Amino acid sequence: MQSAQQLINGLMLGGILAFVAVAFTLTIGMLNFLNFTIPALFMLAAMVTWALSASGEHIFALGLPWYAAAAIGIAVAMVASLIIERFTYRYLKAHYGDATEHALPLVSSLGFLIIFEHAVITLWGSDPQRLELPFRDMDLHFAGLIVGIPHLFSLGLAITLVWVLSWLLKRSSIGRALRAIAENPDAATLMGVEVARIVPVVFLVTGMLSALAGILYGFSYSTVTPYIGDAVATDAITGMVLGGLGNVWGAIVGGLLVGLIKVFAISQFGAEIEKIPVWGLLLLILIIRPTGIFGKSRLGRGKF
Amino acid sequence: MNGAELSLAGVCKSFGGLTVIDHLGFTVKRGSRTALIGPNGAGKTTVFNLVSGVYPIDDGTISLDGEDISIVSPAGRIGHGISRSFQNIRLMPHLSTIENVMLGEHWRRPAFSLARGRRAVESVKAALADAGLQTYPGQVVANLPYGIQKRIEVVRALLAEPKILMLDEPAAGLNNAESDDLRALLERVSARGITLLVVEHDMHFVRRLCDHVVVLNFGRLIFEGTPEEVHRDPAVLEAYLGTDARAVQSDNTAKAR
Give per-residue pLDDT as tens, B239-257.
876 655 555 555 555 555 4
CA distance B85 to chain A (A): 9
Cα-based angle B51, B54, B108 (whole degrees, multiple of 5): 80
Question: What are the two backbone dihedrals, phi and then psi, of residue B83, each rounded to the nearest 5 degrees?
Answer: -135, 145
Angle, CA A297 vertex, CA B105 and CA B147 arms, to 5°: 45
Q: Give me the residue from A175, A184, A194 closest to B75, CB to CB.
A: A194
In three-state form (DSSP H/G/I as H, E/B as E, the rest C), the secondary structure along B115-180 is: CCCHHHHHHHHHHHHHCCCCCCCCCEHHHCCHHHHHHHHHHHHHHCCCCEEEEECCCCCCCHHHHH
CA distances from A104 to A87, A94, A109, B52 (A): 11, 12, 8, 30
Distance of CA B185 to the CA centre of its chain: 13
Phi, psi (rounded to 5 degrees) for B7: -125, 135
- Nearest residue in B to A299, CA atom: B94
pLDDT tens digits for range B112-133: 666 666 777 888 888 898 888 8
* B101 interfaces chain A, CB cutoff of 8 Å: no
How much is the mean pLDDT over chain B? Answer: 86
Examine the pLDDT at B142 and tell me if it is beyond 50: yes
> For residue B159, what are the CA distances in angstroms to B31, B81, B83, B165?
18, 11, 9, 11
The reported pTM is: 0.81
ipTM over cut 0.90: no
Distance CA B157, CA B167 (A): 9
- With 0-12 / 13-18 / 19 or more C-beta atoms within 10 angstroms meaning exposed / middle / buried, residue B192 is exposed
Among A171, A189, A302, beta carbon nearest to B75: A189
Span(s) in chain B for CATH 3.40.50.300? 1-81+162-257
The single-letter DSSP state of residue B197 is E
Question: Of A173, A183, A194, which to mutate for an interface test with B (greatest number of B Cβ within 10 Å)?
Answer: A173
Question: What letter represents residue A201's amino acid?
Answer: V
Of A173, A176, A192, the CB nearest to B78: A192
**Residue B97 distance to chain A (closest CA, Å):** 12
Q: How many Å apart are CA A133 and CA A66, to the nearest integer?
A: 7
Measured over the CA atoms of residue B52, residue B58, residue B62 and residue B68, the dihedral's sign is positive
How far is it, in rounded angstroms, from Cα A35 to Cα A81?
A: 10
End-to-end, the C-alpha distance of chain B in Å comes to 37
Q: Closest residue of B to A185, CA-based?
A: B92
**Chain A residues near any Cβ of chain B (below 8 Å):** 171-177, 179-180, 183-184, 187-194, 198, 301-302
**What confidence tens digit (pLDDT) does each residue in A124-166 have?**
999 999 987 777 666 888 778 888 887 788 888 988 998 998 8
Tell me if A176 and B95 make a contact (CB, 8 A cut-off): yes
Rg (CA), chain A: 19
What chain B residue is nearest to A195 in terms of C-alpha separation?
B75
**pLDDT given at position A289:** 83
3-state helix, strand and coil shares in percent for chain B, rounded to the nearest 5 = 40, 25, 35
Q: What is the pLDDT of residue A40?
A: 95
- CB distance A177–B78 less than 8 Å? no
To the nearest 10 degrees (0 to 180), the angle between helices A2-31 and A248-269 is: 140
Question: What are A172's strand-pairing partners?
Answer: B114
With an 8 Å Cβ cutoff, is B54 touching chain A? yes
Interface contact flag, B52 A190, Cβ < 8 Å: yes
- The H-or-E segment that residue B92 falls in is none
Specify whether the CB–CB gap between B51 and B85 falls below 8 A. Answer: no
A180 and B103 within 8 Å at the Cβ level: the answer is yes
Q: CB of B215 within 8 A of CB of B223?
A: yes
C-alpha torsion angle, residues B196, B198, B203, B206 (rounded to 10): -10
Instruction: Quote the CA–CA distance of A177 and B105 in Å, as a whole number.
Output: 11
Task: Nearest chain B residue to A169 by CA: give it.
Answer: B115
pLDDT given for residue B251 in this prediction: 55
Q: How crowded is the C-beta side of A33, counted as CA atoms within 13 Å? A: 31
By the 8 A CB rule, do A302 and B94 touch? yes
Q: Is B116 on the interface with A (CB under 8 A)?
A: yes
pLDDT in tens, chain A (304 residues): 678 888 988 988 898 999 999 999 999 888 888 899 999 999 999 999 999 998 888 888 888 899 999 999 999 999 999 999 988 877 777 666 655 566 778 888 889 999 999 999 999 999 999 987 777 666 888 778 888 887 788 888 988 998 998 888 888 888 888 888 888 888 888 888 888 888 899 999 999 999 999 999 998 888 999 999 988 998 999 999 998 888 888 899 999 999 999 999 888 888 888 788 888 888 998 888 878 887 654 444 433 3
Q: Report yes or no: B115 at the A interface, CB cutoff 8 Å.
A: yes
Backbone phi and psi for residue A173, each to the nearest 5 degrees, phi listed first: -60, -45
Q: Give the Cα separation of A106 and A300 in Å (integer).
A: 17
Q: How confident is the model at residue B89 (pLDDT cuts 50, 70, 90)?
A: confident
Report d(CA A257, CA A56) in Å as an integer.
39
Specify the pLDDT at position A303: 39
Q: Do A172 and B114 touch (CB under 8 A)?
A: yes
Given a cut of 50, is residue B214 above it in pLDDT?
A: yes
Per-residue pLDDT at A298: 47
Structural domains of chain A, ranges and CATH numbers in brackets: 2-123+135-288 (1.10.3470)
Which residues are within 8 A (CB) of B135 and not within 5 positions of it... i.e. 6 or more apart? none
Contact A262, A235 (CB under 8 A): yes
Contacts of A192 in chain B (CB under 8 A): 74-75, 78-79, 103-104, 106-107, 160
State the angle between helix axes of A228-243 and A248-269 in degrees (0 to 180), rounded to the nearest 10: 120
- Is domain B1-81+162-257 annotated with CATH 3.30.390.30? no
B27-86: pLDDT as tens digits: 999 999 999 999 888 999 999 999 999 899 999 999 999 999 999 988 889 989 999 998
Q: Which helix (H) or strand (E) holds B26?
A: strand B18-28
**How close does chain B come to A123, measured CA to CA in Å?**
38
Q: Is B56 on the interface with A (CB under 8 A)?
A: no
Q: What are the strands, taking DSSP E only, across A104-186?
A: 129-130, 139-142, 145-148
Compare CB distances from A183 to B95, B106, B156 and report the shortest one's residue: B95
Using the 8-state DSSP alphabet, how is residue A297 labeled? Answer: -
Task: Report yes or no: B99 at the A interface, CB cutoff 8 Å.
Answer: yes
**What number of C-beta contacts closer than 8 Å exist between A and B?**
81
